């Protein structure tokens, strides 16, 4: 066989950019990273704070790695978590709590100015609760190394697939973190560990443990899971591939969580606000702004399993609740029957033309919506066409909130009130409650 000569290619050597020294940090961006500007352009440096002087190593086109804080700001604090420098969960523990909330409000203000052309002058004081031990959902990454027969269970390292093994998480409910060590020990002994995708812990009336697997646990693993469940008083749920989680024990009851003056059933996999206490306060505040009256006809969009729907209906208003996931619509209806409330709950794709839906032809004088991070681009246009008097919008993504607000402003609404809801302390994530009123 003839061999064709090809010259060997030398490996490309990675060049290291020179360290930038004594650089001023001018601001924080919406992800909580320090912004530095010089003749070469803009860089975003995680861990740096506005007003500081730092040394950093440029990385890629836009990033920078913090090397040293030469002159710290008075808002800098020592991070409480020993895993903070490695774990990718929290990213603002180094910023004092009040300053965190001020930063989040400033982010929303800037995004409204940029995407909606609007200056917010109607801020309410932030809605707050505990800043530690608040998180009632903890999703864990895992990896089984068959060659070394070693199992890792923990949180992803920042900007990496590496797993940081943790025995505690200071922002998570202790009912969850006390299970980390025994659960790691259990899973490492089971044959299902080889097909385990991820693990999620959820704290409510009972701690639920969701195992993402390719197939149902075998007859050898089942007794060990059942023994662990009994010993630690937890419920196991098994999620095979993309299907909804199913209870390990068919006799398991659905867990419940507290909303405003009510308890609601949910199934692991349903949307659930991260901060349990603040979720109740958020519902109470949203109700105060929505002001449901018996004569009101209220359209609720992205209703989930009824966290807002039932409290609104308890005020006597007529509620039409729309949700994209049929199983959550069914749980909403079940909860409404249990509490003897009349709610029209329907499944619908809110990104599609609303003319196909009978409920959309009903007049509504108020609208409440709580969409996912993608916002409500199409839904808000449909709302604007119908011209309700009041729109209360809960958002976990201020950029898409600002985009949707611009549509409301163009349709003749003004922003009556805005409020930061500190649903995610110690992180850059932002929850915001807004009240839009149609001009007379």
Query: Residue range 380-398: average pLDDT?
Result: 98
Per-residue model confidence as pLDDT tens digits over 285-316: 999 999 999 999 999 999 999 999 999 999 99
How high is the pLDDT of residue 98? 98
- pLDDT score, position 39: 80
- pTM for the predicted model, two decimal places: 0.93
pLDDT at 16 exceeding the cut of 90 = no
**Region 309-332 average pLDDT:** 96
Contact 248, 225 (CB under 8 A): yes
How much of the chain, in percent, has pLDDT values that exceed 70?
A: 97
Residue 8 has pLDDT above 60, yes or no: no
Give residue 14's pLDDT.
57
Q: Report pLDDT for 12.
A: 46
Higher pLDDT pick, 12 / 72: 72
Report, as an integer, the average pLDDT of 215-227.
97
Question: What pLDDT, on the 0 to 100 scale, is given for residue 15?
Answer: 65
How many whole angstroms separate alpha carbon 383 and alpha carbon 375? 13
Query: Looking at the predicted structure, is the pLDDT value of residue 260 above 60?
Result: yes
- Integer Cα distance of 172 and 133 in angstroms: 4
The predicted-structure confidence for 104-138, as pLDDT tens digits, reads as follows 999 999 999 999 999 999 999 999 999 999 999 99
pLDDT above 90: percentage of residues in the chain = 90
Listed in sequence order, the residues at least 6 apart from 76 whose beta carbon sits closer than 8 Å to its beta carbon are 49, 52, 69, 94, 95, 96
Q: CA nearest 403: which of 385, 380, 420? A: 380
Asked whether 198 and 212 are in contact (CB, 8 A), the reply is: yes
Q: Which helix (H) or strand (E) holds 416?
A: strand 413-421
240 catalytically annotated: no
> What average pLDDT does range 334-344 have in this prediction?
95
* pLDDT over 50 (residue 70): yes
Would you mind telling me the total number of residues written for the chain in this entry? 440
According to DSSP, the residues that pair with 257 across neighbouring strands are 264
If you average pLDDT over residues 354-375, what whole number do you get? 96
Mean pLDDT of 387-395: 98
Mean of all residue pLDDT scores within the chain: 94
Cβ atoms of 63 and 43 within 8 Å: the answer is yes
pLDDT class of 10 with cuts at 50, 70, 90:
very low
Instruction: Determine the pLDDT at residue 170.
Output: 97
Task: Please pick, among 81, 87, 142, 396, the residue that the annotation labels catalytic.
Answer: 396
Domains in the chain (CATH in brackets) are 20-76 (2.40.50.140), 106-130+256-438 (3.40.50.150), 137-203+206-247 (2.40.50.1070)
CB 45 within 8 A of CB 25: yes
């Amino acid at each position: 066989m003839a061999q064709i000569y090809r010259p060997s290619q030398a490996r490309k050597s990675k060049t290291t950019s020179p360290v930038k020294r004594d650089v001023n940090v001018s601001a924080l961006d919406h992800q909580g990273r320090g912004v530095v500007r010089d003749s070469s352009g803009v860089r975003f440096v995680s861990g740096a704070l506005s007003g500081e002087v730092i040394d950093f190593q440029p990385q890629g086109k836009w990033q920078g790695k913090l090397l040293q804080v030469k002159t710290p700001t008075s808002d800098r604090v020592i991070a409480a978590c020993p895993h903070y420098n490695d774990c990718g969960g929290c990213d603002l523990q180094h910023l004092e709590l009040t300053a965190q909330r001020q930063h989040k409000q400033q982010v929303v203000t800037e995004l409204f100015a940029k995407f909606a052309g609007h200056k917010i002058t109607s801020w309410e004081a932030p809605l707050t609760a505990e800043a530690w031990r608040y998180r009632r959902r903890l999703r864990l990454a895992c990896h089984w190394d068959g060659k070394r027969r070693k199992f890792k269970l923990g949180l992803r390292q920042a900007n990496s697939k590496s797993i940081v093994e943790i025995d505690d998480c200071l922002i998570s409910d202790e009912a969850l973190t006390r299970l980390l060590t025994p659960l790691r020990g259990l899973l490492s002994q089971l044959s299902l560990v080889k097909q385990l995708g991820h693990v999620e812990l959820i704290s409510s009336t009972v701690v639920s443990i969701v195992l993402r697997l390719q197939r149902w646990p075998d007859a050898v693993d089942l007794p060990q899971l059942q023994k662990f469940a009994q010993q630690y008083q937890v419920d196991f749920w098994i999620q095979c591939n993309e299907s909804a989680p199913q209870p390990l024990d068919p006799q398991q009851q659905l867990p419940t969580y507290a909303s405003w003056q009510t308890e609601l059933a949910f199934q692991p996999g349903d949307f659930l606000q991260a901060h349990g206490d603040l979720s109740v306060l958020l519902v109470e505040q949203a109700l105060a702004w929505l002001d449901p009256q018996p004569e009101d006809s209220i359209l609720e969009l992205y209703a989930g399993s009824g966290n807002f729907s039932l409290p609104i209906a308890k005020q006597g208003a007529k509620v039409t609740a729309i949700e994209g996931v049929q199983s959550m619509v069914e749980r909403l209806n079940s909860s409404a029957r249990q509490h003897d409330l009349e709610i029209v709950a329907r499944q619908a794709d809110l990104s599609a033309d609303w003319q196909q839906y009978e409920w959309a032809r009903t007049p509504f004088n108020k609208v409440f919506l709580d969409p996912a991070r993608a916002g409500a681009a199409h839904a808000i246009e449909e709302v604007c066409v119908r011209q309700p008097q009041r729109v209360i919008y809960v958002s976990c993504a201020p950029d898409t909130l600002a985009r949707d607000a611009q549509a409301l402003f163009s349709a003749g609404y003004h922003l009556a009130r805005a409020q930061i809801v500190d649903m995610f302390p110690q992180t850059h994530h932002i929850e915001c409650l807004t009240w839009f009123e149609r001009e007379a």
